[in-house]
Structure 1
Amino acid sequence: MTPAVDQARKAGIEHRIHEYSHDPSSESYGTEAAEKLGIPQQQVFKTLVVSLDAKVLAVGIVPVCTTLNLKRIAKAAGAKKATMADPAEVERTTGYVLGGVSPLGLKKRLKTFIDASATEFSTIHVSAGRRGLEVELSPQDLATLCGADFAEIGNLA
């Protein structure tokens, strides 16, 4: 499988893997996942990597129907500023390709923040480490596995 799935299995947490046929012409990986799996977009979360003040990378996990608020994630991380990380650096640091970046099984553990809206659901879906593969798990288990904090980091799109 993928490092993300391996991490969930090794931790012994309750999770489910969902696979769908990824369409390479799809403009939004997360929206595609929600549509193909028949899940509300608020329950499917995308993994975004930002660069903080000192070029330190951090992860923001927000619903696919929202955008990441860079000021809010910077504040949550105790930084002055956050910008979207360079795509090549994201792939090199996480070990995943864009559109398949999972918050689980990262090559290098990064400071991680999950949008507080995740706590409204018993389970959420995040990428399982490749396009067309999602893992469903509780927000609390995701936070535990990633060492993540919950914070208001999203904007309605």
Structure 2
Amino acid sequence: MHPTNRRVQDAVEAAGITPRMVWLDEHARTAALAAEQIGCEVAAIANSLVFDCDGEPLLVMASGAARVDTDLLARTLGATRVERAGPDFVRSATGMAIGGVAPAGHPSRLRALVDTDLAAFEEVWAAGGTPDTVMALTFEELVRLTGGTPTAVR
């Protein structure tokens, strides 16, 4: 097991959740590629998106079918600026590369929002820390794992 996957799995277990990691046949750097390999709807993919929120990292767990409205997030959070973070910012905040960012297992807990659209699914799929791993979670487990606030993101 890759050290990043181990770190994610340890964080999942520490949250009191039984890890349900799946190793994919191919890298799934997009929600559509992940959904195709898993056999689920794109909307059931919980994308781990990192934003620069007034200079601080913000993790948004967004449905794979959602286009996040950064202006809405800024208003919701009372922030001056919310922008998509670049690769270096993401790696610094999460210890993971874009395309494999998990909802947990970061160097420190990130402020997090969880897309309320994901609550419509019995099971959602999030990255497991590398582009070839995913994990199944319920919406409630995702909220608990991230410590996130359920929020409309679009």
Same fold (TM over 0.5): yes
Tell me whether 1:78 sits opposite 2:78 in the alignment. Answer: yes
Q: Shift in Å at residue 58 of structure 1? A: 0.4
Q: What are the residue-to-residue correspondences of 1:1-150 with 2, within 5 Å?
A: 1=1, 2=5, 3-23=7-27, 28-53=29-54, 55-150=55-150
SS where residue 89 of structure 1 aligns?
helix
SS where residue 66 of structure 1 aligns?
coil
SS where residue 67 of structure 1 aligns?
coil
**Which range is displaced more, 85-94 or 127-136?**
85-94
More strand by share: 1
CA distance in 2, matches of 1:92, 1:86: 10
Structure 1: state its 5+ residue gaps: none
Query: Structure 1 counterpart of 2:11, which letter?
Result: Q
CA contact (8 A) 2:15 2:144 kept: no
Aligned residues: 150
Structure 2: state its 5+ residue gaps: none
**Which range is displaced more, 6-15 or 120-129?**
6-15
CA distance in 2, matches of 1:69, 1:21: 32
Q: Shift in Å at residue 84 of structure 1? A: 0.8
CA contact (8 A) 1:5 1:135 kept: no
**Which range is displaced more, 69-78 or 96-105?**
69-78
User: Which consecutive segments of 4 or more residues in structure 1 shift more than 4 A?
Assistant: none
CA distance in 1, matches of 2:8, 2:72: 26
